[in-house]
Amino acid sequence: MQQTINIDRYDEIIQKLKNLTYYYENTLANNKCFLGLANGDNINIVLPKNNIPHLLGVYTDRLKVINRAKYTDSSYDILKKLINSELTYIGMRNVNPDFDIGSLFSEHIDSKLEIFVNILKLRNDDIHCIIKYCADRSYTSTTEKENSHYFIVRKHGTKYSALGIAKNEEFNNYVPVTARLFNDEDELNDFLEKTVKNQEITYPYMFSIKNPYNDFNIDHYTDLLEKLKYGKILQEIALKYNAIPSIINDAIANINKYLNGKQKANNTSSILTKIKEKIRSNEYIDKNEIIEMLDGGDIPEDLETLIDECNNLIFYSYNGSQADANNYFDTQNENANLKEQLISLREQVASLQAQLNETETENHSLKEENEIKNQKLKVLTDAFESIKTI
């Protein structure tokens, strides 16, 4: 529905546009956001200038139609002319009296201005879900197809928003193409009903935002409680709107993490059992055995301290002197360090020997080349001497 814009309303909108554009240029323009999604997709998002007017609800092309802007002017340049008063309400009225100034702005201009900063200031703690939108999958829907490849749906108090992003093939990243504000859950549900049927829905397992110019850097990895919350939301949306939850990549990663953790727990249990058996039989605990049980990995510091203390107690039980025990195991540790140094020195010697062999090979080759050159020189010299006698 087209709105009527008087000069006061126009000035109000322009002032808000000016403030938001200033904020964009000084805070958001160089933000680079990365989302690692549970379905296996990775998304890099940037915020180019020429996408900003549309997100603000300003239809700059209307001014090209009435020759108030050149066709070569970028959308952002035209927006700057509006907020810098190079194009004014009175000027447009005087030069183009039939032009409907209200057509410059979206009918949802107020909600677009309200949500602009929040929707571009991406964060990890208010994401509701992410929709991977494929127009080909919306064949059962009678609604108009969307031009976005993903929708990032977020919650802002009692309100919700959806930032639509599309792939920029030239730079292999994603840019925002639409911004929508939903005043309550009912409005969000209307959007989901039109959008998510037969579409994948997922969540971010990793969120990063960087701005080198503002020295701003955030990295966040979604924990299990957050994933559980997302899982419940996706399940509810899937049941209600026939969407397709897609979290297989993150699920596999979580299973691998669990199995690795379980293996580590088994290793720890086996090591503790080994230590217990050694203590019972008053045998020293060989650290090399423990390293082998750790698949060649380093012994954790706290476990190594435990082993040293146990060995001290065993030694003390035989010798009756704590000082001797300490001296003995200090010597053992020193020997282990010396052994490591010896191995390192042997490796260095082997490396130097290899270099020496290579140098000798090169030297031998040079000697052979020199011998051949000397033979050639002798032939030439003999020939020259023969010629001199003629």
- Identify the H or E element spanning 162: strand 159-168
d(CA 10, CA 22): 18
Provide the β-strand partners of residue 166: 175
Spatial CB neighbours of 126, under 8 Å, sequence gap ≥ 6: 154, 155, 156
pLDDT in tens, 148-165: 999 999 999 999 999 999
The whole-number pLDDT of residue 131 equals: 97
Helix, strand, or coil (residue 132): strand
Tokens, residue 335: 């020997």
Provide the total of helices (H) and of strands (E) in the chain, helices listed first: 12, 10
Percentage of the chain modeled with pLDDT above 70: 88
pLDDT at 367 over 90: no
d(CA 8, CA 14): 10
Picking from 221, 231, 171, the residue whose alpha carbon sits closest to that of residue 45 is 171
pLDDT in tens, 159-201: 999 999 999 988 889 999 999 999 999 999 999 999 999 999 9
pLDDT at 321 over 90: no
Alpha-carbon distances, residue 377 vs 55, 122, 274, 312, 384 (angstroms): 83, 79, 77, 77, 10
Q: Residues 88-110: what's their mean pLDDT?
A: 92
Percentage of the chain modeled with pLDDT above 90: 54
Average pLDDT of the chain is 86
pTM (global) more than 0.85 = no
CB 139, CB 43: distance < 8 Å? no
Neighbours of 244 (CB within 10 A): 17
Strand 42-45, strand 216-221: pairing: unpaired
pLDDT in tens, 323-360: 555 555 566 666 667 777 878 788 888 888 878 888 88
